[in-house]
Amino acid sequence: MNTQVMELRQPQGGLVAADGRMSAQQVLQHAMVVQEVMRAVMRPGVHFGEIPGTDKPTLFQPGADKLCMTFRIAPEFDIQDLSTSDCVRYRVTCRGVHQLSGVTLGSCVGEASSNEEKYKWRRSVTDEEFDATPPAMRRVKYGKKWNTKQVRTEPADVANTVLKMAEKRAKIGMVLNVTAASDMFGQDLEDLDAALRESLVDGDGAPAAAPAPAAPTTWPAEAFAAQLPRWTKAVAGGLKTAAEIEALATSKGALTAEQLAAIRALKPVDPGQATDPDTAAFAADMEAAEGAQQ
Task: Quote the domain boundaries for residue 40.
Answer: 33-114+153-201
Domain membership flag for residue 110: yes
Tell whether 167 and 228 lie within a shared domain.
no
Residue 173 has pLDDT above 70, yes or no: yes
Tell whether 169 and 225 lie within a shared domain.
no
Cα distance between residue 54 and residue 188, in whole Å: 12
Domain membership flag for residue 191: yes
* pLDDT given at position 96: 96
pLDDT tens digit sequence for 222-259: 888 888 888 888 888 777 888 888 888 887 778 888 88
Tell whether 165 and 273 lie within a shared domain.
no
Tell whether 234 and 286 lie within a shared domain.
yes
Of 110, 112, 114, the C-alpha closest to 85 is 114
Tell whether 165 and 284 lie within a shared domain.
no
Domain membership flag for residue 210: no
Residue 149 has pLDDT above 50, yes or no: yes
172 vs 209, higher pLDDT? 172
Tell whether 98 and 236 lie within a shared domain.
no
Residue type present at position 265: A
Tell whether 80 and 175 lie within a shared domain.
yes
Tell whether 189 and 234 lie within a shared domain.
no
Domain membership flag for residue 7: no
pLDDT tens digit sequence for 204-228: 444 445 455 555 567 788 888 888 8
Q: Are 147 and 141 in contact (CB under 8 A)?
A: yes
* pLDDT given at position 208: 47
Tell whether 109 and 225 lie within a shared domain.
no
Tell whether 252 and 193 lie within a shared domain.
no
Quick one: pLDDT band at residue 53, thresholds 50, 70, 90?
low
Residue type present at position 214: A
From 201, 233, 266, the end of a domain falls on 201
Kindly report the pTM of this predicted structure.
0.58
| HSE toward the beta carbon, residue 81, CA cutoff 13 A | 6
Task: State the total domains in the chain.
Answer: 2
Domain membership flag for residue 148: no
Cα distance between residue 59 and residue 65, in whole Å: 10
Average pLDDT rounded to a whole number, residues 273-286: 51
Domain membership flag for residue 103: yes
Domain membership flag for residue 81: yes
By the 10 Å C-beta count (0-12 exposed, 13-18 middle, 19+ buried), 266 is classed as: buried
Domain membership flag for residue 84: yes
Q: In which region does residue 198 sit, left (phi positive, over 0), alpha (psi from -120 to 50) or beta (all else)? A: alpha
96: part of which helix (H) or strand (E)? strand 89-98
Residue 160 has pLDDT above 70, yes or no: yes
Average pLDDT rounded to a whole number, residues 26-46: 85
Cα distance between residue 60 and residue 181, in whole Å: 13
Tell whether 50 and 175 lie within a shared domain.
yes
Tell whether 226 and 274 lie within a shared domain.
yes
Residue 178 has pLDDT above 60, yes or no: yes
